[in-house]
Structure 1
Amino acid sequence: MSAPARAATLRLAALGDSLTAGWGLPASEAFPARLQAALAEKGHDVTIANFGVSGDTTAGGLARLDGVLAAKPDGVLVELGANDMLRGQAPEAAKANLDAILSRLKAAGIPFMLCGMRSAKNYGSDYAAAFDAIYPELAQKYGVELYPFFLDGVTGQPGMTLPDGLHPTARGVEVVVARILPTVEMFVARLKAAPAAMAGQ
């Protein structure tokens, strides 16, 4: 006997830094709002709560995780690490913090996907290699979806970032959303399949 289709809205939480918070943009143009709209256009009944805080490092995200857990979302998008990198913090520390976040989400039974970041070139090849490896290694460890580089198609592209050269413009956010959407749809499909999998046990 097949499980009934999920009728309720799928509730996601986006745990991140200024890239999630939408620094310099109206709330309606921030990444979670635009991703929610893009998912709706694809026929997905999904809401995305914005748990982005500008300036947050992976340690900050870990410190705020109780708030995300208390919201009891159906799934979490984790987007952290850019500020660790910009401050030149040890990749090992960032990885440990992210690992702790993912471990606690797993223990709480809340599925998640990972949004990756890449090191700026000015920190040297050794730092970049160590930092860039964080996300694929953690995605493999937990067997979850990974979008390799959150700012793919935005960094270094004219008109895609604000004058600081770091944060996306509204157009830049649309590029991020368009590129990450297939990965998020895979994540959403996994969440929608979960009730059916449970029913079949």
Structure 2
Amino acid sequence: MLPRARAAVQAGRPLTIVAFGSSSTEGAGASDDAMTYPAQLQARLRQALPGLRVRILNRGKGGQEVGEMLARLDADVLAERPAIVIWQAGANAVLRGMAPESFSAAMAHGIARVRAAGAEVVLMDSQRAPRILSAPHYSRFDSALHDLALHARAPLFSRAALMRAWEEAGTPNAEMLSPDGLHHNDRGYACVAAALSRAMQDAVGPALIAHR
């Protein structure tokens, strides 16, 4: 599902990924910059792709919703000419009471701009946290991202599904969240990075085998 990235890996070209989003990308709740999900994902992909230059740039800014992200898309994301943009969005739209329809329209516009610049998009939905789950209509934003992914044929990395799987395996979501009841803690970010690394390796598919 990431053919351009797969081609880059097969050709041995440097792989630049931009992690774009708000506080979950920036790393709120992490004890150190090295414990954010982008930093841990970079370490995992470098290990999986020895000899290939993998660079993940953290372009998360806490508190932003999609309109504010779009305002910095050119300077913070597209200027880096990434192969992949991992776009985490939705939580602040939920917490601010943004209309799901406005959210979807703005996201679709942003996805089109990223694609026009030659990059692929991986969408990331919101974590299962008390502050989000208590907000009205939060599920409509999950549905909006799911529909966007289908329409744009873009991979959706679902933290909602991931956290449900953690609970089913016996790990309460509270153990993956920081004391603020919203953001991941170090353990949560580590598990997000591990799952995302596996998903991205699967998406690149035969290219990984060819490069090893």
TM-score when normalising by structure 2: 0.78
User: Does 2:122 match 1:100?
Assistant: no
Alpha-carbon spacing, 1:58–1:187, altered in 2? closer, same or farther (3 Å):
farther
Is this contact kept in 2: 1:58–1:80, CA < 8 A?
yes
Following superposition, the deviation at residue 107 of structure 1 comes to: 1.5
Number of residue pairs aligned between Structure 1 and Structure 2 = 188
Match of 1:51 in 2: 59
Deviations 1:98-133 (CA, angstroms, capped at 9, x unpaired): 111101111222111111237834344xx2442221
Contact 2:159 2:192 in 1 (8 A): no
Pairing partner for 1:164 from 155, 171, 180: 180
SS at structure 2 position matched to 1:51: strand
Quick check: 1:135–1:148 contact (8 Å CA) kept in 2? no
Counterpart of 1:140 in structure 2 is: 150
Residue 40 of structure 2, aligned match among 34, 38, 41: 34
- Pair 1:8 & 2:13 matched: yes
Matching residue of 1:82: 91
Partner of 2:121: 112
Q: Distance in 2 between matches of 1:158 and 1:105?
A: 34
CA distance in 1, matches of 2:84, 2:47: 20
1:130 maps to which of 113, 130, 140: 140
Spell out, residue by residue over 1:42-80, the C-alpha distance to the aligned partner (whole angstroms, 9 max, x if none). Answer: 236321100100111111111111121111111111111
List alignment gaps of at least 5 residues for structure 1. 194-201
**Percent identity of equivalent pairs:** 32
4+ residue segments displaced more than 6 Å:
none
Partner of residue 197, structure 1: none
CA contact under 8 A between 1:95 and 1:134: conserved in structure 2?
A: yes
Cα distance in 2 for residues equivalent to 1:37 and 1:109: 25
In the alignment, the residues of structure 2 paired with residue 170 and residue 129 of structure 1 have an alpha-carbon distance, to the nearest angstrom, of 26
User: Looking at both structures, which has the greater relative contact order when contacts are Cα pairs under 8 Å and sequence separation is at least 6?
Assistant: 2
1: CA distance, partners of 2:182 / 2:191 = 14
Q: Which has the higher helix share?
A: 2
5+ residue gaps, structure 2, are: 1-6
Q: What's the secondary structure of 1:130's corresponding residue?
A: helix
- Kindly report the root-mean-square deviation, in angstroms, between the aligned alpha carbons of the 2 structures: 2.6
Change (3 A) 1:54 1:151: farther
